[in-house]
């Protein structure tokens, strides 16, 4: 299995996000891999994640898998790539310092603006993640490797794409829960 498989290209990322064409591709590629490994693998599970990577390398994707990648995986990976790369696009890490890159016609954003942007992008990425998880759970028959992961899978699939931090514990006989209760996988399949 090839570990260096990208589900999106930098061209796709720039065409489908707010990242400008003048951003160096080499700065973006590590964040594509990170987004796939952290967020996509969590939803797919290691078995199906590795299966899709192998199928991409060997050019053996089924038409259902191609549609899954195009319609569900790529939008999610693009948003999480933007989310992960935002703090680093204007900063340069060298052996002497961490410095903020600047041009004479721009002003770097402050920490509050960066936090706001990241939260906005994360919300969009979580939406696409939840959408992917629901689609997979509703269509398990299309993806047998997803439905039947290896017994040795090191990261089990999870339909919980996010948790907003709002949690209402069970109370009395009514068992009240919040919409995003971390113990409730509403799309658990």
- Write out the two tokens for 182: 């971390």
Is the distance from CB of 149 to CB of 157 less than 8 angstroms? yes
- Domain assignment present for residue 132? The answer is yes
- pLDDT of 61 > 90? The answer is yes
pLDDT in tens, 123-139: 999 999 999 999 999 99
Residue 69 in any domain: the answer is yes
Number of domains in the chain: 1
DSSP state of 165: S
CA R_g for the chain: 19
In a domain, 149, yes or no: yes
Q: Quick one: pLDDT band at residue 154, thresholds 50, 70, 90? A: low
Residue 14: inside a domain, yes or no?
yes
Domain hosting residue 56, numbered range: 10-94+108-159
Q: How sure is the predictor about 185, in pLDDT bands with cuts at 50, 70 and 90?
A: very low
In Å, how far from its chain's centre is CA 64? 20
User: Which of residues 155 and 148 earns the better pLDDT score?
Assistant: 148
């920490």: which residue's tokens? Answer: 111
């Amino acid at each position: 299995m090839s570990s260096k498989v990208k589900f999106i290209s930098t061209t796709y990322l720039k065409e489908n996000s707010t990242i400008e064409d003048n951003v160096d591709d080499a700065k973006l590629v590590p964040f594509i891999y990170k987004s796939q490994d952290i967020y996509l693998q969590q939803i797919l599970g290691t078995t199906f994640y590795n299966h899709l990577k192998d199928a991409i390398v060997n050019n053996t994707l089924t038409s259902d898998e191609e549609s899954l990648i195009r319609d569900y995986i790529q939008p999610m990976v693009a948003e999480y790539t933007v989310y992960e790369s935002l703090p680093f696009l204007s900063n340069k890490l060298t052996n002497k310092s961490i410095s903020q890159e600047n041009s004479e016609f721009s002003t770097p954003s402050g920490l509050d603006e960066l936090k706001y942007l990241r939260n906005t992008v994360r919300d969009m990425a979580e939406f696409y993640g939840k959408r992917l998880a629901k689609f997979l759970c509703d269509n398990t028959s299309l993806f047998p490797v997803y439905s039947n992961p290896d017994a040795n899978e090191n990261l089990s699939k999870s339909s919980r794409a996010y948790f907003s931090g709002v949690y209402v514990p069970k109370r009395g006989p009514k068992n009240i829960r919040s919409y995003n209760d971390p113990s409730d996988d509403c799309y658990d399949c």
